[in-house]
């Protein structure tokens, strides 16, 4: 859950690595000017991992996309898929666990997943 690539090379490299293991093709566009605090990197990586796991298990998507950028010392990550939608935190433990972990680092998590899709998860974590 805390891969060496994250420790050694940071969030962008770790996100590309996770995307490379996804059965659904993922476009990754994570552009960060510097390494972020360890707790932020670990939490954001956890979000990307669970989101990609959910896409593989549930979405029936043809493609997914991971975006990441730093705006005014806030990390913004967005994971989107073009699948069937209907993601619901009440349906499992993964999404609830994400919300808890993001809250620990004073971040915010939002999920949009109407029936029919698309599904977009967005997380904002302050790095200051
Ligand atoms: N990207 C997605 N597209 C469509 N449905 C989704 C997506 N992500 C989650 N879901 C739906 O929301 C439910 C809840 O997701 P959640 O991650 O909380 O649980 P889970 O993946 O079923 O189990 P786990 O506890 O192992 O994560 C899923 O069971 C699934 O029905
Ligand atoms: Mg899950």
CATH number, domain at 64?
3.30.565.10
**Average confidence (pLDDT) over 29-42:** 97
Q: If you measure from the C-alpha of residue 81 to the centroid of ligand 1, how many angstroms do you get, rounded to a whole number? A: 13
- Statement: residue 82 has pLDDT above 80: yes
- pLDDT score at 96: 96
Distances (CA, A) of 99 to 4, 50, 54, 55, 121: 24, 11, 15, 17, 11
Domain holding 77, by residue range, is: 4-126
Give the whole-angstrom CA distance, residue 18 versus residue 52: 8
> Would you say the CB of residue 49 lies under 6 angstroms from ligand 1?
no
Closest CA to ligand 1's atom 19: 92
Question: How do residues 90-109 score in pLDDT, each as one tens digit?
Answer: 999 999 999 999 999 999 99
Size of the chain in residues = 128
- pLDDT score at 2: 75
- Statement: residue 1 has pLDDT above 80: no
> Would you say the CB of residue 84 lies under 6 angstroms from ligand 1?
yes
Give the whole-angstrom CA distance, residue 29 versus residue 77: 10
- pLDDT score at 66: 98
Q: How many domains does the chain have?
A: 1
> Would you say the CB of residue 119 lies under 6 angstroms from ligand 1?
yes
């Amino acid at each position: 859950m805390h891969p060496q690539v994250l420790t050694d090379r940071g969030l962008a490299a770790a996100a590309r690595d996770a995307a490379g293991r996804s059965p659904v093709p993922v476009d990754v566009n994570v552009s960060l000017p510097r390494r972020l605090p360890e707790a932020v990197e670990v939490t954001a990586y956890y979000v990307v991992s669970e989101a990609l796991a959910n896409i593989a298990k549930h979405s029936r998507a043809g493609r997914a996309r991971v975006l990441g950028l730093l705006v005014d010392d806030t990390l913004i990550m967005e994971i989107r898929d073009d699948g069937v939608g209907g993601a619901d935190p009440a349906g499992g433990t993964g999404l609830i666990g994400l919300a808890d972990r993001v809250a620990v680092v004073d971040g915010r998590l939002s999920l949009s997943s109407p029936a029919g899709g698309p599904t977009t998860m967005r997380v904002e974590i302050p790095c200051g």
